[in-house]
Chains A and B, each alone.
Chain A
Amino acid sequence: MPDRGFLQSLDISPAAPAVFDGNTDLWLTRAELTRRVTDFAARIEFPRKALGFVFVYNDAESLIAYLAALQAGHAVAPLNPQLDEAFIARLTSLFQPDFIAGPPSLPRQPGYREAESPHSGQVLLRSATPNRHAIHPDLSLLLSTSGSTGSPKMVRLSWRNLESNARQIIQALRHTSQDRTILTAPIFNGYGQSVVHTMLLAGGSLALTRARVISGEFWDTARAAECNTIGGTPFFYQTLDRLDLNSLDVPRITKFVQIGGRMPPHLATKFHAIAQARGGELHLMYGQAEATARISGLPPELLPEACGSIGFVLPGGQLWIEREGRECADMEEGELIYRGPNVMMGYAMCPDDLAKDDEQGGVVATGDLGHRDGRGLFYVTGRRSRFVKLHGWRVSLDEVEQLLAHAAPVATVNDGERLVIYAERPGAAFADAVRQLAQRLNLHPSGFEIREIDAIPRLASGKVDYQYLRAVARLAITR
């Protein structure tokens, strides 16, 4: 088994700080983290490469379990411990993981026995009949395409994908062993993982807390850990704006990173100025799970002038614009296509897919529409594919349609920040169905807008006329 793990590759002092757990106020040094990860990895040995579900909170125990599963060379799916029990049971019976690690509250599953736990904070369940499914030797991570639901559609990532993207990000953000961040997203989310991978590979350190960003505890943790770097989605920056960063008493934080959807220009400009006043910088980045996490970044020197741009492609990657199979000239609109070492192997919908080889050949059509300017800067202006980012979470429009089909005939379209649901003559209970759906997806219902319609427009083929609905959605907004 090749060496896999973000703790193995660097000349970092064993005494260097690695992880601060704000839930316990304890630091782990690089040596302590490495030892605990290695201990855990030794408990999850199987005759063959295995599949593990790891349910992770933002705490040190969860991080150790996650890193151990990767280091042991298995394929790992990091998941939300707050998914509802029925969904966890369904996902477990579908993929039949060989082991499941998680917090003590983890629901026990039939066909699994509790193994001796490597440390007190975690439960480890082992399948009574392991290694039922063949797993491709390169497969390291399975990333749910819908971070909030843990949808059965997963992105397949190799160790090479994870490591190369972490190195690309380190280079773009100029991270060193001096960087120390606090996670503002869950470890089970692709963005959260990319921060963990990047920081540990750079030899830097990170703080973890289960507390929400809007809480005294979160900022106590950032202060106690002496963080100097922070990143988040546009929603995070909206929150930070309301919290007034300068009143939070975290003056050491000077490097800011944004990812996960387009940052409104007024916020980009404002946080660029705040970062500059602190002698630091704001990096705007762009990416998606199909490219592990990130694809491009805007150098801070180009702010505020280029705040509408997603920047240059990351080192080692190529980005271009394509329309009808040919490459577009500068300023011409088309779909963003990316090629790089961080492009996924493909998707997995069922356990048989885990044995599949690379299906992408290092290229992914992003589903985003945009153009390149004469300087080589890229701009995203719209979306072609059927998902939307709500509060930084990726939500599948088709999944929402399926989950609402019982309540009324529906068609969903993406309207930038919101998901518009066209419902054909919905009954009085429809709003309740949407609220329940939002809760199930761990999303706030304000991200969904319900519009009543007499009949969902269809093409001659019987398919929903989404182009018409998108146009109508836009009109309704600008009215």
Chain B
Amino acid sequence: MTNVQKLQDAFRQGLALPASFDVTRAESASLRQWDSVAHLQLVVAIEDEFRVRLSPSELIDLKSYPAAIAILQRHGVWPDA
């Protein structure tokens, strides 16, 4: 599975989005189901997929799909490490 697939799966699973949803456009400000519970589920899903541990400030920064990529880049796991 590619990194893109892994991250998209993590978003679909974490935020409980249907397969048809374009997760690259997912933003916490506009997505109703992106509440605190979904947020923590998303964090856990990303951590499991990429075997990383997000810091408290990264938890807060994780507000969109591009933000997730920036965080994974900082951890050196994006693109393929």
Residues of chain A whose beta carbon lies under 8 Å from any beta carbon of chain B: 82, 212-216, 235-236, 238-239, 242-244, 247-248, 391, 432, 435, 438-439, 442-447
Give me the 9 closest cross-chain CB pairs, A-B, nearest first: A244-B56, A444-B37, A391-B37, A214-B39, A243-B56, A212-B36, A445-B16, A213-B36, A247-B56
Contact of B16 among A215, A236, A444 (CB under 8 A): A444
A-B pairs under 8 A by CB, number: 51
Residues of A within 8 Å of B16, CB to CB, are: 435, 438-439, 444-445
**In the bound complex, how far is the Cα of B33 from the Cα of A325, in angstroms?**
44
**In the bound complex, how far is the Cα of B37 from the Cα of A247, in angstroms?**
21
- Taking the closest CB of chain B, its distance from the CB of A261, in whole angstroms, is 13
Contact of B43 among A236, A242, A244 (CB under 8 A): A242
Contact of B33 among A213, A432, A439 (CB under 8 A): A439
Are A216 and B36 in contact, CB atoms less than 8 angstroms apart?
A: no
B59 at the interface (CB under 8 A from A): yes
Are B40 and A214 in contact, CB atoms less than 8 angstroms apart?
A: yes
**In the bound complex, how far is the Cα of B36 from the Cα of A444, in angstroms?**
10
Are B57 and A446 in contact, CB atoms less than 8 angstroms apart?
A: no
Residues of A within 8 Å of B37, CB to CB, are: 235, 391, 443-444, 446-447
Are A214 and B59 in contact, CB atoms less than 8 angstroms apart?
A: yes
**In the bound complex, how far is the Cα of B43 from the Cα of A407, in angstroms?**
31
**In the bound complex, how far is the Cα of B41 from the Cα of A235, in angstroms?**
12
**In the bound complex, how far is the Cα of B28 from the Cα of A447, in angstroms?**
21
Are B60 and A243 in contact, CB atoms less than 8 angstroms apart?
A: yes
Given contacts A212-B36, A214-B59, 18 further A-B contacts (CB under 8 A): A82-B32, A212-B28, A212-B35, A214-B60, A238-B40, A239-B36, A243-B60, A247-B57, A248-B56, A435-B18, A438-B16, A439-B16, A439-B33, A442-B33, A444-B16, A444-B37, A446-B37, A447-B37
B38 at the interface (CB under 8 A from A): yes
